[in-house]
A = this chain, B = another copy of it.
């Protein structure tokens, strides 16, 4: 029920930009599998390349936050933004990077607690304490 068709491997082969991104996804992820997000995005080859390059630079580069934590942060944002596909694909990715059931349970507890206090703060319109002001 996508709003665009999903680009098959045969169709990808007819556009060098799409083909190059699909090749890179397969090389980086060490699997032949390409999930539907990329097949949908491939209708706009420039957008596909920009999004993949962006994702690689943020998620696949070594940094100060470890890969599993990155995936858990991704799940947190995707949950608050109500993106079902994103929640499911990144929960699978987090498990592949070592998320245990205990960690999943804690992650959900933190997300749920934050959502609860987010709504309380908004309903109460809590004024900022001066101590939290970086410029203060």
* Chain A residues close to B by CB (< 8 Å): 1-6, 33, 35-37, 40-41, 43-44, 46-47, 50-51, 54-55, 57-59, 63-65, 69-70, 72-89, 91-92, 100-129, 131-135
Other-chain residue from B33, B43, B116, B127 in contact with A131 (beta carbon distance below 8 A) = B33
Cα A82 to Cα B135 with chains together (Å): 21
A125 touches B87 (CB 8 A): yes
A44 touches B77 (CB 8 A): no
Given A2-B134, A50-B54, A120-B41, A126 contacting B85 (CB threshold 8 A): yes
Minimal beta-carbon separation of A102 from chain B (angstroms): 4
Q: List residues of chain B with CB within 8 A of the CB of A77.
A: 76-77, 79-80, 110-111, 114-115, 118-119
B65 touches A106 (CB 8 A): yes
Other-chain residue from B50, B86, B88 in contact with A118 (beta carbon distance below 8 A) = B86
